[in-house]
Amino acid sequence: MRVWALLFFLVLGVWAQEKPASPPPDLSPEVFAIARELRCPVCQGESAAESNSGVAVEMRRIIAEMLQEGKTEEEIKAFFVDRYGEWILYEPPRRGVTLWVWVLPVLGFALLGLGLFAYFRAKKPLPPELLEEAERRLKEPPA
């Protein structure tokens, strides 16, 4: 019974999650693809595609205008980086100080793997004399 209740609540949790918002018909999916890679300057933890703040709406409008002008995705991102700094990018560039954001998790997993390998690696077998002594003691009746 508990398993069914747990399964029910897990399925209910999946249904309750927000579905990704589809782009409105007046904006192309490319606008939202670029906006997903930019942070909303007002909202915490939301991309410019997800947020409904005035700033995010304006960012999407600017992206649409720049795409109509023939600008590339890199040029649009560079425009927002010039305006807000590299913080605006959801994926920090892999250079300079932000390189540590990409390198430290890999180093951490490598150290964790080495530590687990050292901990679980095969130990040297016991000498036969100790094994024989242990078997002899187990066979003797307690005194």
pLDDT at 124: 78
User: Quick check: 1 pLDDT over 90?
Assistant: no
Instruction: Tell the burial category of 39 from Cβ atoms under 10 Å away from its Cβ (0-12, 13-18, 19+).
Output: buried
End residue of a domain, out of 66, 88, 110 = 88
Compute the average pLDDT of residues 62-82.
93
Residue with more model confidence, 107 or 128: 107
Please tell me whether residues 73 and 102 are part of one structural domain: no
| Number of domains comprising the chain | 2
Give me the mean pLDDT over the 87-115 stretch.
85
Please give the residue that has the higher pLDDT: either 87 or 111: 111
12-51: pLDDT as tens digits: 666 655 555 554 556 788 998 999 999 998 887 888 988 8
Domain of 53, CATH number, reads: 1.10.8.640
Please tell me whether residues 102 and 80 are part of one structural domain.
Answer: no
In a domain, 30, yes or no: yes
Of 88, 108, 128, which closes a domain?
Answer: 88
Do 26 and 84 lie in a common domain? yes
Answer yes or no: pTM beyond 0.75.
no
2 found inside a domain: no
Query: Which residue range is the domain that position 103 belongs to?
Result: 97-139
